[in-house]
Amino acid sequence: MKYKLLFLGLSLFLYGAALALPCLLFNVVPIDAVGVVPSDPNDVYAMKGIELTFFGIIGLLFLQIPALGWLANPIYWLCCITFMVQRYRFAAIAGIAAVLIGFGGTFSAFWFNLPADSGGVSEFSLSQLLFGFWLWLAAPGLIALAAFIGLLKQPARLATRSDQERRHRLEL
């Protein structure tokens, strides 16, 4: 495919921008504890993509359900590699899987609060998906789209068995 490096470069740019930008907006919710002064109800925290990447790995180690969205990252890198070696079908499937897993895992944070500190005083409650999050999902989506275009432009590689038998008979 002629524009393979262009698509990969644009996808990596989107991924890098997502790491640098705020991706998720959390409300900091105090956990009801005796003798603890409640925090400000307007206390919010915008978490950048690089922070989410780090805390996603830790969340997986501590079995936090929304951290399953982090698994979209290695699937995205697999998608990029398979795209570059022109395994377009696998790249398209991996790209779509990365988008679905990333969105589904992160979206589950609307229902599952995350620990905000080690003392157990407050939790993060997801309130909004920010621009960086959508850029993060666009990166594997772009590779999946480019891989699908690559699939459409490839000639059929394998003929059916009956086609192969017919050719063999004609050669005899």
97-152 residue pLDDT tens: 999 999 998 888 788 777 666 666 677 778 888 999 999 999 999 999 999 988 88
Domain span including residue 149:
4-171
Q: Classify 83 as helix, strand or coil.
A: helix
DSSP code of residue 159: -
The pLDDT of residue 159: 47
pLDDT tops 90 at residue 15: yes
The answer to whether 172 and 63 are in contact (CB under 8 A) is no
| pTM greater than 0.85 (yes/no) | no
Structurally, how many domains does the chain consist of? 1
